[in-house]
Structure 1
Amino acid sequence: MQAPENLPVVVIVEDDLYMQGILSQCLSGPFAPVVFQNGMEAFSYLQQGNIPDIIISDLNTPVLNGIQFLEQVRTSGFFSAIPFIMLSGVDNTDTRIKCLEAGADDFIVKPFNPRELEARLKIILKRAGKLVLN
Protein backbone atom coordinates (compact mmCIF):
# COMPACT_ATOMS: atom_id res chain seq x y z
CA MET A 1 0.00 0.00 0.00
CA GLN A 2 1.04 3.57 -0.46
CA ALA A 3 2.14 5.56 2.56
CA PRO A 4 -0.54 7.84 4.11
CA GLU A 5 1.36 10.97 3.07
CA ASN A 6 1.40 9.69 -0.50
CA LEU A 7 -2.29 8.93 -1.02
CA PRO A 8 -3.57 8.73 -4.59
CA VAL A 9 -5.14 12.06 -5.57
CA VAL A 10 -8.69 11.82 -6.91
CA VAL A 11 -10.12 14.82 -8.75
CA ILE A 12 -13.89 14.87 -8.28
CA VAL A 13 -16.04 16.98 -10.60
CA GLU A 14 -19.55 17.25 -9.17
CA ASP A 15 -21.89 20.25 -8.99
CA ASP A 16 -24.30 18.83 -6.42
CA LEU A 17 -23.12 19.80 -2.91
CA TYR A 18 -24.70 16.76 -1.28
CA MET A 19 -22.99 14.39 -3.72
CA GLN A 20 -19.70 16.27 -3.28
CA GLY A 21 -19.93 15.54 0.44
CA ILE A 22 -20.71 11.86 -0.09
CA LEU A 23 -17.86 11.40 -2.55
CA SER A 24 -15.38 13.29 -0.37
CA GLN A 25 -16.38 11.38 2.73
CA CYS A 26 -16.32 7.91 1.18
CA LEU A 27 -12.99 8.50 -0.60
CA SER A 28 -11.11 10.30 2.19
CA GLY A 29 -8.70 7.95 3.86
CA PRO A 30 -7.64 5.61 1.11
CA PHE A 31 -7.48 8.60 -1.29
CA ALA A 32 -6.93 12.35 -1.24
CA PRO A 33 -10.00 13.88 -2.93
CA VAL A 34 -9.91 17.32 -4.58
CA VAL A 35 -13.40 18.60 -5.47
CA PHE A 36 -14.52 20.95 -8.25
CA GLN A 37 -17.96 22.25 -9.30
CA ASN A 38 -17.40 21.78 -13.04
CA GLY A 39 -14.99 20.55 -15.67
CA MET A 40 -13.62 24.01 -16.41
CA GLU A 41 -12.44 24.43 -12.81
CA ALA A 42 -10.92 20.96 -12.83
CA PHE A 43 -9.18 21.49 -16.18
CA SER A 44 -7.75 24.77 -14.89
CA TYR A 45 -6.39 22.84 -11.89
CA LEU A 46 -4.72 20.38 -14.27
CA GLN A 47 -3.25 23.19 -16.37
CA GLN A 48 -1.62 24.58 -13.22
CA GLY A 49 0.56 21.47 -13.16
CA ASN A 50 -1.53 19.31 -10.84
CA ILE A 51 -1.67 15.76 -12.16
CA PRO A 52 -4.12 13.58 -10.20
CA ASP A 53 -3.93 9.81 -10.12
CA ILE A 54 -7.56 9.49 -11.29
CA ILE A 55 -10.56 11.66 -12.18
CA ILE A 56 -14.23 11.07 -11.33
CA SER A 57 -16.64 13.35 -13.15
CA ASP A 58 -20.39 13.70 -13.12
CA LEU A 59 -21.84 13.62 -16.60
CA ASN A 60 -24.04 16.71 -16.20
CA THR A 61 -22.12 19.64 -14.77
CA PRO A 62 -22.41 23.31 -15.73
CA VAL A 63 -19.90 25.28 -17.84
CA LEU A 64 -18.02 22.20 -19.12
CA ASN A 65 -19.97 18.96 -18.79
CA GLY A 66 -18.47 15.55 -18.12
CA ILE A 67 -18.16 14.50 -21.78
CA GLN A 68 -16.61 17.83 -22.77
CA PHE A 69 -14.18 17.62 -19.84
CA LEU A 70 -13.31 14.02 -20.73
CA GLU A 71 -12.65 15.05 -24.33
CA GLN A 72 -10.40 17.92 -23.17
CA VAL A 73 -8.43 15.51 -20.97
CA ARG A 74 -8.12 12.83 -23.65
CA THR A 75 -6.96 15.25 -26.39
CA SER A 76 -4.29 16.79 -24.19
CA GLY A 77 -0.85 15.28 -24.46
CA PHE A 78 -0.14 15.93 -20.78
CA PHE A 79 -3.33 14.52 -19.28
CA SER A 80 -4.50 11.86 -21.73
CA ALA A 81 -3.27 8.91 -19.64
CA ILE A 82 -5.09 9.93 -16.43
CA PRO A 83 -7.70 7.27 -15.62
CA PHE A 84 -11.22 8.72 -15.86
CA ILE A 85 -14.49 7.47 -14.37
CA MET A 86 -17.80 8.96 -15.45
CA LEU A 87 -20.50 9.18 -12.79
CA SER A 88 -24.15 9.77 -13.63
CA GLY A 89 -27.73 9.35 -12.54
CA VAL A 90 -28.52 8.60 -16.19
CA ASP A 91 -28.60 4.84 -16.63
CA ASN A 92 -29.01 3.91 -20.25
CA THR A 93 -26.82 1.97 -22.63
CA ASP A 94 -26.42 4.78 -25.18
CA THR A 95 -25.07 7.18 -22.53
CA ARG A 96 -22.64 4.57 -21.17
CA ILE A 97 -21.40 3.73 -24.66
CA LYS A 98 -20.95 7.41 -25.54
CA CYS A 99 -18.84 7.95 -22.41
CA LEU A 100 -16.74 4.83 -22.95
CA GLU A 101 -16.19 5.69 -26.62
CA ALA A 102 -15.10 9.19 -25.58
CA GLY A 103 -12.39 7.59 -23.44
CA ALA A 104 -13.86 6.93 -19.99
CA ASP A 105 -12.28 3.97 -18.22
CA ASP A 106 -15.48 3.18 -16.34
CA PHE A 107 -19.07 4.38 -15.90
CA ILE A 108 -20.76 4.32 -12.51
CA VAL A 109 -24.47 4.96 -11.99
CA LYS A 110 -25.79 7.02 -9.07
CA PRO A 111 -26.76 6.04 -6.50
CA PHE A 112 -23.69 3.88 -6.02
CA ASN A 113 -22.30 1.67 -3.29
CA PRO A 114 -19.27 3.49 -1.78
CA ARG A 115 -17.39 0.21 -1.33
CA GLU A 116 -17.91 -0.64 -5.00
CA LEU A 117 -16.66 2.81 -6.04
CA GLU A 118 -13.55 2.37 -3.88
CA ALA A 119 -12.95 -1.11 -5.33
CA ARG A 120 -13.29 0.17 -8.90
CA LEU A 121 -10.89 3.05 -8.20
CA LYS A 122 -8.32 0.68 -6.73
CA ILE A 123 -8.57 -1.73 -9.67
CA ILE A 124 -8.15 1.05 -12.24
CA LEU A 125 -5.24 2.56 -10.32
CA LYS A 126 -3.59 -0.85 -9.99
CA ARG A 127 -3.90 -1.43 -13.76
CA ALA A 128 -2.41 2.02 -14.37
CA GLY A 129 0.53 1.12 -12.11
CA LYS A 130 -0.37 3.84 -9.60
CA LEU A 131 -1.41 1.62 -6.70
CA VAL A 132 -0.02 -1.51 -5.15
CA LEU A 133 -2.67 -3.70 -3.54
CA ASN A 134 -1.91 -6.28 -0.86
Structure 2
Amino acid sequence: MKKKILILDDETSICMLLQNFLSQDYDVITKHNPLDALEWLEDNLPDLIICDIQMPKMDGYEFLTKVRQQGFTKHTPIIMLSGRAESKERIKCYRLGAQDYLTKPFNPEELEELVKKNLYPIHYAIEW
Protein backbone atom coordinates (compact mmCIF):
# COMPACT_ATOMS: atom_id res chain seq x y z
CA MET A 1 0.00 0.00 0.00
CA LYS A 2 1.32 3.41 -0.97
CA LYS A 3 1.99 6.06 1.67
CA LYS A 4 -0.56 8.89 1.61
CA ILE A 5 0.53 12.52 1.16
CA LEU A 6 -1.79 15.50 1.58
CA ILE A 7 -0.76 18.54 -0.44
CA LEU A 8 -2.26 21.89 0.55
CA ASP A 9 -1.62 24.87 -1.71
CA ASP A 10 -3.99 27.50 -3.09
CA GLU A 11 -2.06 27.55 -6.39
CA THR A 12 -3.38 24.85 -8.72
CA SER A 13 -0.11 24.81 -10.66
CA ILE A 14 1.93 23.97 -7.53
CA CYS A 15 -0.51 21.20 -6.58
CA MET A 16 -0.28 19.74 -10.09
CA LEU A 17 3.51 19.98 -10.06
CA LEU A 18 3.80 18.25 -6.68
CA GLN A 19 1.27 15.62 -7.71
CA ASN A 20 3.24 14.99 -10.90
CA PHE A 21 6.48 14.48 -8.96
CA LEU A 22 5.01 12.32 -6.20
CA SER A 23 2.05 10.35 -7.56
CA GLN A 24 4.11 7.53 -9.05
CA ASP A 25 5.34 6.44 -5.62
CA TYR A 26 2.68 7.84 -3.29
CA ASP A 27 -1.08 8.25 -2.98
CA VAL A 28 -1.42 12.05 -3.38
CA ILE A 29 -4.43 14.07 -2.28
CA THR A 30 -4.55 17.78 -3.09
CA LYS A 31 -6.53 20.52 -1.38
CA HIS A 32 -6.57 24.20 -2.30
CA ASN A 33 -8.15 25.54 0.87
CA PRO A 34 -7.01 24.98 4.47
CA LEU A 35 -10.61 24.63 5.66
CA ASP A 36 -11.23 21.83 3.14
CA ALA A 37 -7.98 20.17 4.22
CA LEU A 38 -8.98 20.31 7.91
CA GLU A 39 -12.36 18.82 7.05
CA TRP A 40 -10.67 16.05 5.03
CA LEU A 41 -8.36 15.35 7.99
CA GLU A 42 -11.37 14.63 10.21
CA ASP A 43 -11.87 11.31 8.36
CA ASN A 44 -8.41 10.64 6.93
CA LEU A 45 -4.89 10.35 8.26
CA PRO A 46 -2.07 11.02 5.79
CA ASP A 47 1.49 9.85 6.32
CA LEU A 48 2.82 13.31 5.37
CA ILE A 49 1.45 16.81 4.77
CA ILE A 50 3.04 19.34 2.41
CA CYS A 51 1.59 22.80 3.11
CA ASP A 52 1.97 26.24 1.58
CA ILE A 53 2.33 29.17 3.96
CA GLN A 54 0.70 32.03 2.08
CA MET A 55 -2.96 31.21 1.47
CA PRO A 56 -6.20 33.19 1.71
CA LYS A 57 -8.68 32.67 4.58
CA MET A 58 -6.12 30.80 6.73
CA ASP A 59 -2.36 30.85 6.35
CA GLY A 60 -0.07 27.85 6.69
CA TYR A 61 0.97 28.87 10.21
CA GLU A 62 -2.60 28.71 11.48
CA PHE A 63 -3.21 25.44 9.61
CA LEU A 64 -0.04 23.96 11.12
CA THR A 65 -1.13 25.04 14.60
CA LYS A 66 -4.59 23.48 14.17
CA VAL A 67 -3.11 20.21 12.88
CA ARG A 68 -0.76 20.01 15.86
CA GLN A 69 -3.65 20.65 18.28
CA GLN A 70 -5.65 17.68 16.96
CA GLY A 71 -4.75 14.45 18.69
CA PHE A 72 -4.82 12.21 15.63
CA THR A 73 -2.59 14.43 13.45
CA LYS A 74 -0.34 15.63 16.25
CA HIS A 75 2.63 13.57 15.04
CA THR A 76 2.03 13.67 11.27
CA PRO A 77 5.17 15.06 9.60
CA ILE A 78 4.67 18.38 7.83
CA ILE A 79 6.84 20.05 5.20
CA MET A 80 6.09 23.75 4.78
CA LEU A 81 6.39 25.44 1.36
CA SER A 82 7.12 29.13 0.97
CA GLY A 83 8.42 31.72 -1.42
CA ARG A 84 10.27 33.27 1.53
CA ALA A 85 13.79 32.08 2.23
CA GLU A 86 14.39 34.08 5.42
CA SER A 87 15.66 32.19 8.43
CA LYS A 88 12.99 33.72 10.69
CA GLU A 89 10.25 32.09 8.57
CA ARG A 90 11.89 28.68 8.88
CA ILE A 91 12.33 29.10 12.64
CA LYS A 92 8.67 30.09 13.05
CA CYS A 93 7.59 26.93 11.20
CA TYR A 94 9.88 24.70 13.25
CA ARG A 95 8.60 26.23 16.48
CA LEU A 96 5.02 25.55 15.40
CA GLY A 97 5.85 21.91 14.73
CA ALA A 98 6.94 21.59 11.10
CA GLN A 99 9.61 19.00 10.35
CA ASP A 100 10.98 20.69 7.23
CA TYR A 101 10.78 23.84 5.13
CA LEU A 102 11.14 24.01 1.36
CA THR A 103 11.51 27.26 -0.56
CA LYS A 104 9.69 27.86 -3.86
CA PRO A 105 10.76 27.40 -6.55
CA PHE A 106 11.99 24.06 -5.27
CA ASN A 107 14.34 21.48 -6.68
CA PRO A 108 12.38 18.25 -7.35
CA GLU A 109 15.34 16.19 -6.15
CA GLU A 110 15.36 18.06 -2.81
CA LEU A 111 11.60 17.54 -2.52
CA GLU A 112 12.08 13.81 -3.06
CA GLU A 113 14.77 13.63 -0.38
CA LEU A 114 12.67 15.56 2.16
CA VAL A 115 9.68 13.31 1.50
CA LYS A 116 11.79 10.17 1.97
CA LYS A 117 13.41 11.59 5.10
CA ASN A 118 10.03 12.26 6.68
CA LEU A 119 8.29 9.06 5.57
CA TYR A 120 11.17 6.68 6.26
CA PRO A 121 13.38 8.41 8.86
CA ILE A 122 15.27 5.33 10.05
CA HIS A 123 15.92 3.94 6.57
CA TYR A 124 16.59 7.30 4.93
CA ALA A 125 20.36 7.21 4.43
CA ILE A 126 21.47 5.38 1.31
CA GLU A 127 24.89 4.75 2.84
CA TRP A 128 25.76 4.70 6.51
| TM-score, normalised relative to structure 1 | 0.88
Q: CA deviation at 1:123?
A: 1.0
**Residues 67-86 of structure 1 aligned to structure 2 (within 5 Å):** 67-86=61-80
Which runs of structure 1 show a deviation greater than 4 angstroms over 4 or more consecutive aligned residues?
Answer: 131-134
**Residues 1-134 of structure 1 aligned to structure 2 (within 5 Å):** 6-47=1-42, 49-127=43-121
- Structure 2 gaps, min length 5: none
8 Å contact kept, 1:126–1:133: no
Q: Give a deviation string over 1:92-129, Cα, whole Å, max 9, x none.
A: 011111011000000000111112101111111112x7
Which letter does structure 2 place at the counterpart of 1:66? G
CA distance in 2: counterparts of 1:133 and 1:25, whole angstroms = 24
Q: CA deviation at 1:38?
A: 1.9
Q: RMSD between aligned alpha carbons?
A: 1.7
| Number of residues of Structure 1 aligned to a counterpart in Structure 2 | 126
Q: CA deviation at 1:8?
A: 0.8
- Structure 1 gaps, min length 5: 1-5
